[in-house]
Amino acid sequence: MSMLESIRNALRIKNVVFDGEITDLINACKLDLSISGIKIISDTDPLIKQAVKTYVKANFGLDNKDGEKYMESYEAIKRHLALCGDYNVEPVVIPEEGV
C-alpha cells in the first residue's frame, strides 16, 4: 500500500478528491522531518508512516478541532526520530567487491 493510500485510509477517505492536498501534506511532512535532521525517511518504515499520518491529521481540513493535539503528537514523534541514531545518519553504502 502506498503512503498516499495509507494516509487516505487513516483519514477515512475513500475517494481521490483530496489526493492533491494529502500529497502536499505528505511532502511537507517529509521536508519538515528532513530539516529536523532525520536523514532516513522511508515510506515503508512504521515510525515514519506514523509521523506522516499524525502530521497530515494535524493539518488536513479547514475545521480541524483536533489539529493541535495531533501536532503535539507529531512533534514528539519527530523529536524521538531526530534523537535516534538509526534515523539521523546517512545510510552507509558498501561497494561491491571488485569495483
Q: Does any domain span residue 23? A: yes
pLDDT of residue 92: 64
| 8-27 pLDDT, tens digit each | 999 999 999 999 999 999 99
Q: Quick check: is 93 in a domain?
A: no
Mean pLDDT of 79-92: 85
pLDDT band at 85 (very low <50, low <70, confident <90, very high): confident
**Cα dihedral 12→80→3→8 (10° resolution):** 10
Residue 98 within a domain: no
pTM summary value: 0.87
**Can you tell me whether residue 90 is helix, strand or coil?**
coil
Q: Find the domain containing 73 and state its range.
A: 3-83
